[in-house]
Amino acid sequence: MALSPDEIRSQVSASYGARVRPTLEASSDLIPLIDASASCCSAESSCCGSDAADVDITNIARLYADTDITDLPATVTDVAFGCGNPTAIAALQPGEVVLDLGSGGGIDCFLAAKMVGPDGRVYGVDMTPEMVALARKNAATVGATGVEFRLGEIEHLPIDSGSVDVIISNCVINLSPDKPQVFREAFRVLRPGGRLQVSDIVWTQPVPAGLEADMDQWAACIAGAIEERDYLAQIAAAGFTDVTSVTSEYSGARGLASADIVAFKP
Ligand SMILES: C[S@@+](CC[C@H](N)C(=O)[O-])C[C@H]1O[C@@H](n2cnc3c(N)ncnc32)[C@H](O)[C@@H]1O
């Protein structure tokens, strides 16, 4: 039986919560930062309870320049689960307001904060309470005062309309069960002239049949991924223009690629 969007989000969140929990529990003072009342989890849901997917979707040394990440603590770099470097797709400018969809432990937010400087602002949104808790602790550790992490779903962003200059995201939108809604929300929160620059996993061939019910493969950024041309069409359907994509090899499975995608809100 097909899972509902809420069930998919719960299981994805449980998977990432389990992956990050050892890092989180190594710092017991992080626990009170979890805002359970606002989370996707409830007493009835299976969220935050299952084992992590047995996948390795990151190679941080391949994605980031050494000079960018040497100052970051292991509680940031050890939980970097991206497939690209969205802050490197196009330069972020001093003073810009940046939003990271699915910010995880915060790595791209901290890199963005350096680029936008003290006059800029960076928001990270993630639905996994453990991720948000760890990211908040990491912000204090690295002294990133212009960065704020909010618990929420990227399909329902806790961000004001027209308030963001640049949206970044790293290996997250493929995990959403409702990607058109994610792109509509991205369009809503961007200011006119704002841009979307995301790294994500896409299929460069038709999506193999029967994958979508495999939640381990979903959490591994495989089963939820869609064909590149459909991804770009969904971005355009949300109202974006000048939608471009550059793909590079990705080791997750044959036929998958890592895509750097840029689009603009007119
Ligand atoms: C593959 S990890 C990437 C994390 C981060 N971008 C990085 O590069 O390390 C995916 C993250 O997206 C979050 N996520 C997945 N689906 C989401 C959704 N629908 N709404 C909010 N966060 C979501 C997960 O909780 C997880 O932290």
Cβ pair 149, 201 in contact under 8 A = no
| Nearest partner of 253 among 215, 199, 210, 208, judged by Cα | 208
Distance (angstroms) between ligand 1 centre and the Cα of 126 equals: 6
Q: How far apart are CA 225 and CA 212, in angstroms?
A: 9
Q: What is the CATH number of domain 5-264?
A: 3.40.50.150
Q: Is the pLDDT of residue 197 over 90?
A: yes
Pair type for strands 256-264 and 164-170: unpaired
Domain segments of the chain as ranges: 5-264
Q: Which one of 8, 100, 127 would you pick to mutate in the ligand 1 pocket, going by the greatest count of ligand atoms within 8 A of its CB?
A: 127
Q: Which one of 20, 172, 174 would you pick to mutate in the ligand 1 pocket, going by the greatest count of ligand atoms within 8 A of its CB?
A: 172
Atom of ligand 1 nearest to the CA of 126: 22
Atom of ligand 1 nearest to the CA of 57: 1
Reported as a single tens digit per residue, the pLDDT across 205-223 is 999 888 878 888 888 899 9
The answer to whether the CB of 153 is under 6 A from ligand 1 is yes
CA distance to 145, 186, 227, 259, per residue, from 197 (Å):
23, 11, 18, 10
pLDDT bin (cut points 50, 70, 90) of residue 29 is low
| Nearest partner of 169 among 51, 83, 54, judged by Cα | 83
Pair type for strands 164-170 and 97-101: parallel
Reported as a single tens digit per residue, the pLDDT across 239-252 is 999 999 999 987 76
* Two structure tokens written together for 151: 């618990």
Cβ pair 39, 129 in contact under 8 A = yes
The answer to whether the CB of 63 is under 6 A from ligand 1 is no
pLDDT bin (cut points 50, 70, 90) of residue 135 is very high
Model confidence, pTM: 0.90
Answer with the residue of higher pLDDT: 222 or 121.
121
Report the percent of the chain where pLDDT is more than 90. Answer: 71
The answer to whether the CB of 179 is under 6 A from ligand 1 is no
The answer to whether the CB of 58 is under 6 A from ligand 1 is no
Residue 191 phi, psi dihedral angles, 5° rounding: -80, 160
Residues 102-125: what's their mean pLDDT? 97
Output the average pLDDT for the chain.
87
The answer to whether the CB of 128 is under 6 A from ligand 1 is yes
Atom of ligand 1 nearest to the CA of 81: 9
Q: Is the pLDDT of residue 49 over 80?
A: no
